[in-house]
Structure 1
């Protein structure tokens, strides 16, 4: 069973203290911890189909001519870009073939790595599949599935509004602290009793605000959605991910998702997987939700992501300033860029990214251990690298 301390090779040799729940998201501990989450936090396995994985061709390309400007103005080559953005793994797929595969900080092709809030994008795909099957009504209010929270600020919020980050939920400092404690990712303070997410939602005491307005990023929405998905389906969240996505995808390795102290999956940020399987998710999305022509995610759901995000809600939302010159939306857990070249991406703190560029048949899966949860310089150079990567491949 996971404990609050764990021994990395460095810790075992006495070179540095062990990673713990108090430090696992800060360097240098994070470089090891992001690849060994199940040794720190309780997780549930997401099984793959061991006799049916999706092979990806390999056609490695050189990026010797790649150049990108760093935030300080200096020019970085490819190796410099990887180092500047604390890259642990990078898999680039072009025209269905792996053209670049890079690992650092002890990672290999078989090593799982936490993808943080890029998990929201996969949770959105689960919701889309269940909605297509009639198991989940996205227009229903969440309290119809979870009457336990009917007296909280979530009253009146629909599952769709939670998926699209358009609820009126704003956690104050006390609620933010309680949410972090309930999620099981942090060491408890001496005055904090053990908690779990279901208890947190039932006790949530914040001022109700109108739902359905501008984009407002609230991670608690997606954890609550995970609970609603379990209630609607009668199944464990990890089992659903395995059966609906991971096995039909042909994932090469099992994945996992962290659990809170009560056993509820952290649908908002707890997935760990290999870089190759992260890239397979991107290739599936590039191919309209299919693997080799076999539908996994309904094509109608993928088309909805591209076409029906509310651009006005994004434009008036809190993150528009990050992309001031882009026409964008957030739909079903995915960021969608409407400007050419159109792009869809999943994103998580500490530098987790999955980019899907259909026009150039390009998928980029990047796993990182950036020191800050939100490193604006690393984020900016990563996005500036995208046109350079396209140019290098097309040239």
Structure 2
């Protein structure tokens, strides 16, 4: 028997009980999200060389009843808090530990945004570059006339239904194509083909349309510009330059396309380093990994009018979306990456705090879950920045 734990619970699953059909669904996701590579083909995102920097770890708050209560209310699996780059708080639910790799879901999008920013800084891309001119196979798709900036800010108008748990939605078909669910006979062969089937629904550059496929179009751009597979570009251009302690992984489909919009997996400690990179305006150990101007632009936020009426603004009034990051517009200037079922990377510039969190919430997403997670993040910031 393999044993899995969620916050405050312990559950045993028989071998093979967690499988391709159910690993994202409760209660199996408490095991599936931290063992994705055992279910879905996964490529290594190498750190190349192990960091000599072993994070200072304080478990002083692991038994703080308020922190644990808030964590369990959000179905948290792990939490790591950095203050001014130093680990000041760390908590793991049952079945998790510092070396456990957990799938980021849509926090993966934020990493893709950073790589695009690096390519822009190097002059290999422009924000006004047209995607169809970079990737000819996408010319007739929804992305053919969209610019890099349109895609970064999720303002590509595309016929795409992102309704989770609806088997008829585009996002469900994309999951099947990516190898995340059992395939159906008429599904496209791989993500490359899937992206070419999507069609525009109107002019680009208008309202925010959160669409997972848009991030994968950006990943295809990265492949076209660098000549590398996306997982290789992530390794050489980002992951290996963050002084990460462990290799990461990303799921790949039958065509070798890495699932940029949600398939990345890493440890909680290493995820926090991504947030620290943004907090430090793209600098790691004195080296500019992501252009300062790009990082500052993310932190400054996007067009709040474009995000009007979104579920995000129901929780963060005046919030926006910029370069694959959510921007709260609050008095701390908080930005964050977020993934379904409770994945978070919270960056608070005012408090100089980063909070990385993995979760296995039974719901994919809801306004109430957003509120609960925001409360957990803000309490974590206040508790650990004293």
TM-score normalised per structure 1 = 0.88
In structure 1, the partner of 2:138 is 149
Unpaired stretches in structure 1, ≥5 consecutive residues: 1-6, 67-76
Following TM superposition, by how much is the alpha carbon of 1:339 offset from its aligned partner in structure 2, in angstroms? Answer: 2.3
> C-alpha separation between the residues in 2 aligned to 1:171 and 1:219?
9
Within the candidate set 172, 180, 195, 1:201 is matched to 195
Deviates more, 1:172-181 or 1:134-143: 172-181
Q: How many residues align?
A: 374
Within the candidate set 272, 276, 294, 1:283 is matched to 276
Following TM superposition, by how much is the alpha carbon of 1:167 offset from its aligned partner in structure 2, in angstroms? Answer: 0.6
Deviates more, 1:283-292 or 1:119-128: 283-292
Following TM superposition, by how much is the alpha carbon of 1:193 offset from its aligned partner in structure 2, in angstroms? Answer: 4.9
> C-alpha separation between the residues in 1 aligned to 2:33 and 2:136?
36
Following TM superposition, by how much is the alpha carbon of 1:31 offset from its aligned partner in structure 2, in angstroms? Answer: 1.2
> C-alpha separation between the residues in 2 aligned to 1:274 and 1:199?
31
In structure 1, the partner of 2:247 is 254
Unpaired stretches in structure 2, ≥5 consecutive residues: 5-11, 162-167
SS of the equivalent of 1:257 reads strand
> C-alpha separation between the residues in 1 aligned to 2:309 and 2:211?
12
In structure 2, the partner of 1:217 is 210
In structure 2, the partner of 1:41 is 40
CA deviations 1:226-262 (Å, max 9, x no partner) are 1111011111111111111111111000001111121
In structure 2, the partner of 1:178 is 173
TM-score normalised per structure 2 = 0.90
In structure 2, the partner of 1:95 is 84
Following TM superposition, by how much is the alpha carbon of 1:320 offset from its aligned partner in structure 2, in angstroms? Answer: 4.5
Q: Is the 8 A contact 1:181 1:194 kept in 2?
A: no
Q: Is the 8 A contact 1:115 1:348 kept in 2?
A: yes
Following TM superposition, by how much is the alpha carbon of 1:367 offset from its aligned partner in structure 2, in angstroms? Answer: 0.4
In structure 2, the partner of 1:383 is 374
2:309 maps to 1:309: no
In structure 2, the partner of 1:300 is 293
> C-alpha separation between the residues in 2 aligned to 1:29 and 1:65?
28
> C-alpha separation between the residues in 1 aligned to 2:138 and 2:378?
46
Q: CA RMSD in A?
A: 2.4
In structure 2, the partner of 1:71 is none
SS of the equivalent of 1:134 reads coil
Q: 1:177 to 1:9 in 2, by over 3 A?
A: closer
Q: Is the 8 A contact 1:86 1:368 kept in 2?
A: yes
2:129 maps to 1:136: no
